[in-house]
Amino acid sequence: MPSPELTPDLTSLKSPRVTAARRLAKRSFRGKERRFIVEGPQAVREAVAHLVEVYATPEAAERHADIAEAARSAGVPVLTASDAVIAEMSDTVTPQGIVGLCRFLDSPFEEILRARPRLVAVLANVRDPGNAGTVLRCADAAGADAVVLTDASVDPYNPKAVRASVGSLFHLPVAVGVPVERAVSGLREAGARVLAADGAGERDLDAELDDGLLGAPTAWIFGNEAWGLPEATRALADDVVRVPIHGRAESLNLATAAAVCLYASARAQRAPAGCRSVTST
């Protein structure tokens, strides 16, 4: 049973707070307010430094008391709400009882360049929010220094993208709305070799590893889920690299290909003398 003090104090679906939260489902309103919604205990826990408010059912507030305490310690109001209110604020079919209202947290592209990143994922014309969030998660797991979304890519604050990132959105710098030409030229000027990942690439990822070329700072460009990278974008890169298909599969999906490429670079960059030293006996 919930404690008496956790009795819901927000129950009306017509509350201005609820209305404002629901409007953030639309990109135009997110951009105007520079705020977005995170759902579930894992995402809210990761987002504490960027939270404006937290809403939770009495049961969820008790179950995740550590999150509520962390939010309050950071000066973030924690309001209890009915199941219906949480469901109205959420984008998922089965809400987990806790949501957070967050500030935008994207980083200026120039700030990322000043840090001289060694591994960057660039999403060019990626339109599916689930894929964008998953690539962001892969980049985080591989130890990338940043993710850059071009001006033709999906909004990383889309609810599905936020969920798919599983908290990684809050772990590494993300630049949004960068023209692909500027992304490539800036990263090259910052010392990165720019590689376009494409199934029709002349270079092979295995050959890149065998030749010891992935140990240097690298920016990988990943393209649209359906049609990949246009010729104009491929031409901007220093090389176009394909992931070898050793079996009978026609191709790899975007997130899988990104994970393979990013981890290949991560392994090479962490080897004392290049990737060969990891595999040699």
6 — pLDDT class (breaks 50, 70, 90): low
pLDDT digits over 189-198, tens only? 999 999 999 9
The whole-number average pLDDT for the span 224-250 is: 92
- Among candidate residues 80, 103, 126, the one where a domain is terminated: 103
pLDDT at 8: 80
Cβ contacts of residue 221 below 8 Å, gap of 6+? 122, 124, 180, 183, 184, 194, 195, 196, 197, 229, 233, 236, 237
Q: What is the CATH number of the domain that holds 43?
A: 3.30.1330.30
Task: Tell whether 136 and 244 lie within a shared domain.
Answer: yes
Whole-number Å distance between alpha carbons of 136 and 218: 16
Question: Is the per-residue pLDDT at 170 higher than 80?
Answer: yes
Task: Tell whether 93 and 131 lie within a shared domain.
Answer: no
pLDDT at 277: 37
Mark residue 223 as left, alpha or beta (left: phi above 0; alpha: psi -120 to 50; beta: remaining). Answer: beta
Task: Tell whether 138 and 232 lie within a shared domain.
Answer: yes
Task: Tell whether 271 and 160 lie within a shared domain.
Answer: yes
SS3 153: coil
135 within some domain: yes
Task: Tell whether 75 and 167 lie within a shared domain.
Answer: no
227 — pLDDT class (breaks 50, 70, 90): confident
- How many domains are there within the chain? 2
Task: Tell whether 77 and 133 lie within a shared domain.
Answer: no
Q: What is the CATH number of the domain that holds 115?
A: 3.40.1280.10
Supply the range of the domain harboring residue 132: 109-275
- Among candidate residues 103, 135, 169, the one where a domain is terminated: 103
**For the chain, percent of residues with pLDDT exceeding 70:** 94
pLDDT digits over 54-106, tens only? 999 999 999 999 999 999 999 999 999 999 999 999 998 899 999 999 999 99
- Among candidate residues 103, 119, 134, the one where a domain is terminated: 103
pLDDT at 273: 54
Q: What is the pTM of this model?
A: 0.89
Q: What mean pLDDT is reported for the chain? A: 92
Question: Is the per-residue pLDDT at 272 higher than 80?
Answer: no
pLDDT digits over 135-144, tens only? 999 999 999 9
280 — pLDDT class (breaks 50, 70, 90): very low
214 within some domain: yes
**For the chain, percent of residues with pLDDT exceeding 90:** 86
Task: Tell whether 97 and 177 lie within a shared domain.
Answer: no
120 within some domain: yes
User: In terms of Cα–Cα distance, which of 138, 240, 132, 233 is closest to 183?
Assistant: 233
DSSP 61-96: HHHTHHHHHHHHHTT--EEEB-HHHHHHH-SSSS--
> How many other CB atoms are there within 10 angstroms of residue 263's CB atom?
14
Determine which of 106-110, 121-125, 244-248, 271-275 has the lowest per-residue pLDDT on average. Answer: 271-275
pLDDT at 263: 97
